[in-house]
């Protein structure tokens, strides 16, 4: 895949980039290694000063970088601005919280005594240069939610971004440079996927984090496993959205529309399978379908647009194939199900797909077991909570889940039984810097964000002082 900005709203190639050669990759790896040796000794106060400055610059750049993201991958410009604002918020959160999250942990005196020590504690130290292999769908947020905690912990970052968002990738490197981070602290590597293995195998790269497809995750995990290097993987999702009889059905339906089509439906944590109790199924289906049908599809640079194009022509083809397969096997199209028309000569060349709702889904259909990365929703009818939970868990993925109920017993059962990294009640799944984020099953392993995320790339070091150690009380 070429490294290029291709506008998905009209298919026009705007700018292409040459991949880095071996000599330049080596120079950047050497810079990361050298910089880490010095940067790791800086204090939390200095790191926080730099990260807060990056947040200020991002706020100043918000309009311009939003339009760049929209041009490169098609998200509505309103959503792109919100993404930039969220990144600045996360930077400030980690700047304020990191020192506390990585504070030394002291066991009780009794436990230390049993270990034969006069004093013992856990101290968190940075690991070194970390390779981040990141996707195009949230081209700022996916990177910042790694970079902010990693930099605050004293690590340095090497970004291999998706090949269709090169300008956003270069912006991120420039942002941290302008904020005053030392050269080599955060570098963008404009390389193709074929270069990832040699970079990850380089002994100066100590760990990796990947957000992306299951095949990409398997490949990176296999290489890292062979090299005995730590990884965090956030892969696909086919998140369920359960609606039970005690719910506010109209509000659930309105939220369901946003939950399904956020980022043009190209989000791992977007709700995709809507599992509705039979007592409220008809009401929900009517409200939800009407909301999906009312969405405005069009130029993502326009403020009034709800749904822009899919990020690539292949992405639209993948969605079309899933929908066509379901329809051939008996699924009912409640709305959409095709490319939109009447967008104008320029936009008709873009990779748009109409917001779509399908019902009468069966396990034989591909769409039942594969992730739908686009504005397509599937509706299921459940006889009771037990059947709804069973349907929700009938997927190889386990990223997050949404449940609409006002019944406390139902809530407790869902927390106990849903196989997912998160359970969101009476709302939609969202990531927040203060809450850990990640999945189970084939959605990956490890956690981003919160204290869990910042400690993923730290060496939890046991420090032990014997009873005769001089200065053990003041060290």
| Residue in the structure block whose two tokens are 């990294």 | 421
Q: Are 397 and 237 in contact (CB under 8 A)?
A: yes
- The gap from C-alpha 63 to its chain's centroid, in whole angstroms, comes to 22
> With contact defined as beta carbons under 8 Å apart, do 244 and 407 qualify?
yes
d(CA 234, CA 132): 12
Q: In this predicted model, what pLDDT tens digit does every residue of 249-303 receive, in sequence order?
A: 999 999 999 999 999 999 999 999 999 999 999 999 999 999 999 999 999 999 9
What pLDDT score does 471 carry?
53
Q: Is 105 a catalytic residue?
A: no
Cα dihedral 33, 152, 458, 235 sign: negative
**pLDDT score, position 470:** 58
* Cβ count near 435 (within 10 Å): 13
Q: How far apart are CA 234 and CA 437, in angstroms?
A: 9
Find out whether 259 and 292 touch, Cβ atoms under 8 Å. Answer: no
Residue of 72, 83, 234, 410 marked catalytic: 234
Transcribe 34-84 into DSSP letters. Answer: HHHHHHTTS-HHHHHHHHHHHHHHHHHTHHHHHHHHHHHH---HHHHHHHH
Nearest residue to 357 (alpha-carbon basis) of 241, 235, 213, 237: 241
Residues 131-173 pLDDT 10s: 999 999 999 999 999 999 999 999 999 999 999 999 999 999 9
DSSP 248: -
Q: Which residues of the chain have pLDDT under 50?
A: 472, 474-475
Write out the two tokens for 98: 């990191």
- What is the DSSP pairing of strand 356-359 with strand 376-382? parallel
Please say whether the beta carbons of 5 and 14 come within 8 A.
yes
Give the pLDDT confidence score for residue 474 in this predicted structure.
44
Using the Cα atoms of residue 113, residue 117, residue 120 and residue 125 in order, give the sign of their dihedral.
negative
Residues pairing with 124 in the sheet = 460
- Note the pLDDT of residue 296: 97
Confirm if 427 and 402 have CB atoms less than 8 A apart.
yes
Q: What is the DSSP string of 113-160?
A: HHTT-SEEEEEEEE--EEEEE--SSSTTHHHHHHHHHHHHHT-EEEEE
Q: ∠ CA(228), CA(143), CA(217), 5° rounding?
A: 40
185 is annotated as an active-site residue: no
Q: Which of 72, 173, 185, 268 is catalytic?
A: 268
Q: Alpha-carbon distance 299 to 245, whole Å? A: 38
pLDDT at 283: 98
Q: Among candidates 300, 286, 299, 298, which has minimal Cα distance to 257?
A: 286
Question: Is this prediction's pTM over 0.75?
Answer: yes
Tell me what pLDDT residue 22 has.
Answer: 98
């Amino acid at each position: 895949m070429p490294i290029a900005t291709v506008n998905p709203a009209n298919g026009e190639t705007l700018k292409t980039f040459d991949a880095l050669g071996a000599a330049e990759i080596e120079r950047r790896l050497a810079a990361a290694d050298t910089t880490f040796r010095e940067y790791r000794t800086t204090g939390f106060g200095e790191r926080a000063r730099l990260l807060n400055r990056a947040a200020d610059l991002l706020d100043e750049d918000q309009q311009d970088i939003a339009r760049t993201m929209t041009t490169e991958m098609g998200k509505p410009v309103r959503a792109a601005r919100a993404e930039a604002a969220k990144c600045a918020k996360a930077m400030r959160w980690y700047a304020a919280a990191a020192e506390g999250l990585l504070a030394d942990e002291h066991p009780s005196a009794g436990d230390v005594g049993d270990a034969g020590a006069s004093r013992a504690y856990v101290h968190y130290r940075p690991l070194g240069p970390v390779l981040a292999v990141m996707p195009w769908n949230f081209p700022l947020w996916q990177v910042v939610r790694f970079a902010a905690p990693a930099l605050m912990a004293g690590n340095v970052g090497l970004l291999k971004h998706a090949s269709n968002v090169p300008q956003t990738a270069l912006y991120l490197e420039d942002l941290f440079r302008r904020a005053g981070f030392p050269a080599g602290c955060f570098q963008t590597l404009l390389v193709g996927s074929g270069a990832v293995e040699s970079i990850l195998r380089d002994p100066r790269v100590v760990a990796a984090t990947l957000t992306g497809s299951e095949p990409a995750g398997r490949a990176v995990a296999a290489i890292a496993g062979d090299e005995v290097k730590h990884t965090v993987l956030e892969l696909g999702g086919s998140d369920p959205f359960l609606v039970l009889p005690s719910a506010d059905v109209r509000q659930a339906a309105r939220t369901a529309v946003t939950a399904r089509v956020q980022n043009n439906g190209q989000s791992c944590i977007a709700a995709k399978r809507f599992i509705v109790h039979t007592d409220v199924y008809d009401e929900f289906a009517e409200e939800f379908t009407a909301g999906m049908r009312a969405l405005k599809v069009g130029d993502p640079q326009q403020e009034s647009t709800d749904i822009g194009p899919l990020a690539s022509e292949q992405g639209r083809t993948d969605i079309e194939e899933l929908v066509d397969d379901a329809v051939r096997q008996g699924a009912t199209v409640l709305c959409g199900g095709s490319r939109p028309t009447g967008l104008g000569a320029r936009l008709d060349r873009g990779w748009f797909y109409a917001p779509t709702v399908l019902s009468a889904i069966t396990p034989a259909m591909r769409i039942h077991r594969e992730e739908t990365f686009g504005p397509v929703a599937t509706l299921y009818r459940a006889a009771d909570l037990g059947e709804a939970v069973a349907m929700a868990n009938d997927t190889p993925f386990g990223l997050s889940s949404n449940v609409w109920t006002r019944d406390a017993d139902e809530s407790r059962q869902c927390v106990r039984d849903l196989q997912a990294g998160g359970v969101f009640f009476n709302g939609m799944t969202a990531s927040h810097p203060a809450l850990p984020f990640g999945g189970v099953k084939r959605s990956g392993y490890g956690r981003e964000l919160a204290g869990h995320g910042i400690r993923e790339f730290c060496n939890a070091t046991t420090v032990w002082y014997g009873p005769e150690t001089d200065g053990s009380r003041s060290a």
